Amino acid sequence: MYASKHSRTGLEDDILEKMRIAQEQDPDNLYLAAHYLDQRAQRGERIEDEARELATKVLRSPVSSYSGLKPLLWVYSRYISDDEAIDLAEEALKNHPDERYLKRCVTLCYKWKIISPKQSRPEKSMIDRAILLLEEVIALYPDSSLMKKIEIADVYALSHDGQAKADQKYQELLDSDLELKEIHLETLAGKTYTLMMFNGDIKLVADYFQRAIEMQPDMVEWNSWPVLALVYASKHSRTGLEDDILEKMRIAQEQDPENLYLAAHYLDQRAQRGERIEDEARDVLSSIPSFHSPFLYISLTVGMCCKFQRHFVLNYSGCFKIFLTLLFSISAAQTLVSRLKALQCHFTWDLGLSRSLLLRCRDNLLDIGTENGNPWLGHIYNLRGFIQYRLGFSEDAQSFFNKAKQAFCKIRSADEGPWLVVNYGNLAWLHHSLGNQAESEDYLYKIDALNKNTHLHPRRSSTLRSTLKKPIR
């Protein structure tokens, strides 16, 4: 159905027949009913009366992005009239004036009416109402409102005296749009890395990183990497870094204390100035988490041991013992990681979601609703947990994963079953990323037990994966 959402010819006849059968089997699914009406209308059927009858049911149903309102408004706008679509959306909002999803739906109707090339210039009262609602929706969806910001600029441009305001809105989009910033940051990172690898102009490297900091000043990583770029340029220097750069390294390490790569370089630079840092060096080595790459372990350990032996009279025997200890921990960590990578869960499905898409998905999931009767509630919580993790909110992620388990158990009327394989996989990855390896192992054992009792068919798991990779509307 999604694949042909914008198709001029609609769905193939066999799929349309399946929709008809599905609606007969699930007559209370108003979302499906609205899409079915749309497909029939595309084939020339007169569906006005059925659409109005469906509207009365939608208005009585709980507010949700799956209530059927949005596709029904599209049917109204396309096959009945834009004015009736606006009236229907406004009535829904009147019944639930605080629901942000309904405000979003109303703005869609005004957009179809105002921006349509078939319409004459709209009345000022309609323009004012559209702008008011668009401003509210932008505030209610702060992380995924790019299209609404574009729409409000378009609406201003169509008003009698709003061209100056429209120009201002367009300029704000060009200057500060978050999605454009994401693209710029990736471009800056690519250019900077290339310049560093090919010994380019280090001042230009630092400039690129500084621009990235200005775009996202709250990202700790950007405050460390400009310093590392400068370190890279002078890593063969016999005299070490200049004092001002060393001070930047100190500040960067305070801001990003978990950046062990930076910590090692900072220790090296201080040692070149005659400081005694043996104890700090051992602390850095003991702080390396067991789940990092073994190549990072080995290269960092060997490099640091050589530096420390040269500067601080650590004997080779001591370095070798540290190295062997790390190798043993690497072996255990690799076994755990290989088991985690074999799981079927959100963390292994290579969803490739950008931050902007994660934010849009999060908003869409919030609008679906979480009433207890929703059979998809466990899946919704699972996905919300993964999104929160990817956005950097691990505590929220764990809370949603726990809610997912509770929802599954309530819906299935059982404490455990194969429906928890994905959920346990998510929890295993989450605890692993937090350094709670014992908890991660516990969930792996639970998954093994579930798989022994009920084998997850490979076709089913691949279907789940392909389903999750579909865009959320």
Q: Which residue has the higher pLDDT, 66 or 116?
A: 66
Model pLDDT for residues 165-190, shown as the tens digit of each residue: 877 776 676 555 444 444 445 444 44
Instruction: Please check whether residue 140 is in contact with residue 152, taking contact to mean a CB–CB distance below 8 angstroms.
Output: no
Task: Output the CA torsion 124→130→133→136 (10° steps).
Answer: -90
CA triple 122-126-129, angle to 5 deg: 150
pLDDT value at 199 more than 80: no
Q: How confident is the model at residue 344 (pLDDT cuts 50, 70, 90)?
A: confident
> Residue range 124-135: average pLDDT?
92
pLDDT at 22: 87
Q: Which two tokens stand for residue 341?
A: 């990578």
Work out the number of other CB atoms within 10 angstroms of the CB of residue 122: 18
Nearest residue to 66 via CA among 362, 357, 364: 364
pLDDT at 211: 65
pLDDT at 180: 42
Work out the number of other CB atoms within 10 angstroms of the CB of residue 248: 19
Domain ranges across the chain: 13-174, 177-275, 278-329, 346-468
CATH H-level superfamily of 346-468: Tetratricopeptide repeat domain (1.25.40.10)
pLDDT value at 144 more than 70: yes
Q: Which residue has the higher pLDDT, 205 or 116?
A: 116
Q: Which two tokens stand for residue 416?
A: 């455990």
Instruction: Name the average pLDDT for the chain.
Output: 74
Q: Same CATH fold, 346-468 and 13-174? A: yes
pLDDT value at 371 more than 70: no
Distance CA(150)–CA(166), nearest Å, equals 9
pLDDT at 221: 52
Model pLDDT for residues 442-456, shown as the tens digit of each residue: 899 888 888 776 544
Distance CA(253)–CA(277), nearest Å, equals 15
pLDDT at 33: 92
Nearest residue to 233 via CA among 259, 209, 206: 206
- In degrees and rounded to multiples of 5, residue 128 shows phi and psi of -65, -40
* CB contact set of 9 (below 8 Å; sequence gap of 6+): 42
Nearest residue to 92 via CA among 61, 113, 71, 114: 61
pTM tops 0.75, yes or no: no
The percent of residues above 70 in pLDDT, for the chain, comes to 65
Instruction: Please check whether residue 165 is in contact with residue 156, taking contact to mean a CB–CB distance below 8 angstroms.
Output: yes
pLDDT at 454: 59
What is the fold, at CATH topology level, of the domain defined by 13-174? 1.25.40
Distance CA(383)–CA(472), nearest Å, equals 11
Count of helix runs (H) and strand runs (E) in the chain: 23, 0
> Residue range 268-290: average pLDDT?
76
- Residues 184-220 as b/e (b if ≥16 CB within 10 A, e otherwise) read ebeebeeebeebbeeeeeeeebbebbeebbebeeeee
pLDDT-wise least confident of 219-223, 274-278, 328-332, 381-385: 328-332
Model pLDDT for residues 156-166, shown as the tens digit of each residue: 877 777 778 87
Question: Which CATH number is associated with domain 177-275?
Answer: 1.25.40.10
pLDDT-wise least confident of 95-109, 312-326, 414-428: 312-326
Q: How confident is the model at residue 256 (pLDDT cuts 50, 70, 90)?
A: confident
pLDDT at 208: 60
pLDDT at 468: 42
> Residue range 361-375: average pLDDT?
74
Q: How confident is the model at residue 193 (pLDDT cuts 50, 70, 90)?
A: very low
Instruction: Please check whether residue 423 is in contact with residue 382, taking contact to mean a CB–CB distance below 8 angstroms.
Output: yes
Q: Which residue has the higher pLDDT, 365 or 312?
A: 365
Q: Is 350 left (phi over 0), alpha (psi -120 to 50) or beta?
A: left
Instruction: Please check whether residue 133 is in contact with residue 139, taking contact to mean a CB–CB distance below 8 angstroms.
Output: no
pLDDT-wise least confident of 69-73, 255-259, 333-337, 394-398: 333-337
pLDDT at 458: 42
pLDDT value at 405 more than 80: yes
> Residue range 340-363: average pLDDT?
81
